[in-house]
Chains A and B, each alone.
Chain A
Amino acid sequence: DAKTTQPPSMDCAEGRAANLPCNHSTISGNEYVYWYRQIHSQGPQYIIHGLKNNETNEMASLIITEDRKSSTLILPHATLRDTAVYYCIVRVRGGSQGNLIFGKGTKLSVKP
């Protein structure tokens, strides 16, 4: 199963872009990259997902490298409410057949 590596924590100034990296060097060709976030003790919230092309929605942009071994989640104008743990997840194939497996994520702190 493909695994992801994320920095444990990052800081970002309010109003600036937050760029959260994720390495997934063993990703398979048909596996998607998903991003979720968890604000304080709430349930995780879906942000965005992609296969190979860059994706953008109202929350964020997802940039996937051409070799698909890494990706970056971009929050274009971070606010204090974006302070959360961000999870980069590669959809598992094989025995788990697509269940989302969460790692420890990156704790993003947006500072005034």
Chain B
Amino acid sequence: NAGVTQTPKFQVLKTGQSMTLQCAQDMNHEYMSWYRQDPGMGLRLIHYSVGAGITDQGEVPNGYNVSRSTTEDFPLRLLSAAPSQTSVYFCASSYSRSEKLFFGSGTQLSVL
């Protein structure tokens, strides 16, 4: 049982490039979410999903897309990276939205 796995751990992008941050969980959790964390700040919710085929926006969704084609995977896509998206990204999952969250180890993204 690996829990929540995020890849890559580190990534450097140039402005305008696109990429996908991967998130997978093997706990059969229905709820998955993406947060970003900037220096000195708490975590801010980007997008979340309450089940396969269902996604919704969080606090800071602009510039990010998500999809949930399977229960296990919840990728986060940056279509055209901007320096303002430099941050640490965390994926989390739980059995349901009201249950405790399990977090991945994070992806540190730098956009130059």
Contact = CB atoms under 8 A, between A and B. Distances in A.
Contact of B35 (A97, A102, A103): A102
Interface residues of B, number: 25
A49 B101 CA distance: 12
Contact residues on A (Cβ < 8 Å of other chain), bracket: 20 to 34
B73 to A, nearest CB: 18
Contacts of B59: 101
A49 B100 contact: yes
Given A99-B33, A99-B48, A99-B58, A44 B43 contact: yes
A101 B103 CA distance: 14
B45 A101 contact: yes
A36 B108 CA distance: 21
A43 B90 contact: yes
B42 A43 contact: no
Interface of B: 4, 33, 35, 40-45, 48, 58-59, 88, 90, 92, 97-98, 100-106, 108
